[in-house]
């Protein structure tokens, strides 16, 4: 018997990556790295001053599954962390339902990414967000870490 699409880690990872790539890299032009900690984006001849590094943390698969997503918001050349706060606000805007007619729960589309074409199979619901204090990196960068709990119904 094959693992249901709603319980596949590959679909979970691909959906999270698509959401942040489309909404941060695609619309804001902010570089996004995945699963490599606080590493600086490796782009030649470009001075990178802000980026996100997103990692997929612990998860559990059950009728209501959950996963931790760790988002490092990183900013350089920002002595008062004003730009860092603006970056955190951009990310929070993607994680909170701020619509007047919404129910307050942000949903991220869950796709079945293989086989092609991608197919919508559900939604990941933002359940909890923990925001760290301001932290200092070793390369004159400052960052905040957002620990986000996503939940979704899965057939296990």
Which residue has 């086989």 as its token pair?
115
In contact, 97 and 103? CB cutoff 8 Å: yes
Both tokens of residue 51?
């980026």
pLDDT of residue 85: 97
pTM for the whole structure: 0.91
pLDDT of residue 77: 87
pLDDT of residue 14: 97
Residues of the chain with pLDDT under 50: none
- Domains annotated for the chain, with CATH where assigned, are 5-153 (3.30.2000.20)
Residue 10, H or E segment: helix 9-20
pLDDT of residue 134: 94
Both tokens of residue 6?
């709603």
pLDDT of residue 44: 59
């Amino acid at each position: 018997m094959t693992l249901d699409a709603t319980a596949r880690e590959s679909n979970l990872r691909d959906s999270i990556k698509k959401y942040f790539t489309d909404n941060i890299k695609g619309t804001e032009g902010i570089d996004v790295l995945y699963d490599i900690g606080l590493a600086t984006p490796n782009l030649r001849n470009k001075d990178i001053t802000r980026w996100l590094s997103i990692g997929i943390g612990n998860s559990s698969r059950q009728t209501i599954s959950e996963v931790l997503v760790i988002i490092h918001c990183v900013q350089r050349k920002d002595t008062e962390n004003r730009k860092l706060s603006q970056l955190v606000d951009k990310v929070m805007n993607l994680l909170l339902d701020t619509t007047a007619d919404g129910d307050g729960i942000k949903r991220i589309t869950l796709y079945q990414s293989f086989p092609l074409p991608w197919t919508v199979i559900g939604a990941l619901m933002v359940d909890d967000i923990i925001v760290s204090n301001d932290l200092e990196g070793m390369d004159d960068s400052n960052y905040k870490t957002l620990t986000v709990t996503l939940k979704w119904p899965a057939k296990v």
